Amino acid sequence: MVTHYEYCPLCGKKLTLKSAGEDGMVPWCPDCNKMWFDAFPTAVIVLTHNEFNEVVMTRQSHLTNRHWMYNSGFILPGESAEHAAKRELKEELGIEIRNLENLGTYWFRGGVLMIAFLAYIPKCEFNLSDEVEEAVWVDVKKAAELAGPVRPGCADFIMMKKFVAEYGVCDPDELWPGQVVE
């Protein structure tokens, strides 16, 4: 999903290259005097936890049938990542989050930049959107099981490991034991 520009999106002229200092040579439209850096979608992924160290897992078959997953969604133009994270949780689960903690950024399948957050809310019922078939509070080991196989470096893997380490929930190595290496 990374867009590399060869023609100017504004006027259609074939782009040439221009030096952008330390960023190297970048596609440039001489008519519009504009540089066209590679573009890619940016999304948020949110691990939501409660006072019992349980996390939210959801089933959304329009996205995948294979596994349970965390809440995620694309950031809208002009929207902050924090706002997008809160909006997704409000839309998908019907919950209002105040406490958000950034858990870093990750590439998803080479084409989407994922900004990961840890969200806290006291245990509550959900008011699910039509896009979400099911959402459950589960302990972290169960969540790792439901998430299915993960790759080292992916957001799921690092978010969960950071969460259990920071909150002393369990040894991070107990999640996905033997399945992945860091």
Sites of contact with Zn ion (CB under 5 A): 8, 10-11, 13, 29, 31-32
Q: Which is nearer to Zn ion, 31 or 79 (CB)?
A: 31
Q: Which is nearer to Zn ion, 32 or 146 (CB)?
A: 32
Minimal distance, residue 37 CB to Zn ion, in Å: 14
**In angstroms, rounded to a whole number, what is the distance separating the alpha carbons of residues 161 and 176?**
10
- Of 113, 107, 114, the C-alpha closest to 152 is 107
Minimal distance, residue 29 CB to Zn ion, in Å: 3
φ/ψ of 72, rounded to 5, equals -155, 165
**Contact yes or no for 81/10 (Cβ under 8 A):** no
Minimal distance, residue 6 CB to Zn ion, in Å: 12
**In angstroms, rounded to a whole number, what is the distance separating the alpha carbons of residues 29 and 93?**
44
Minimal distance, residue 42 CB to Zn ion, in Å: 24
3-state DSSP: the chain helix, strand, coil percent, rounded to 5?
A: 20, 30, 45
From the number of C-beta atoms within 10 Å of its C-beta (0-12, 13-18, 19+), residue 162 rates as middle
Q: Which is nearer to Zn ion, 29 or 93 (CB)?
A: 29
Q: Which is nearer to Zn ion, 39 or 76 (CB)?
A: 39
| DSSP state at residue 21 | G
Q: Which is nearer to Zn ion, 30 or 153 (CB)?
A: 30
Q: By beta-carbon distance, which residue lies closest to Zn ion?
A: 8
Minimal distance, residue 25 CB to Zn ion, in Å: 17
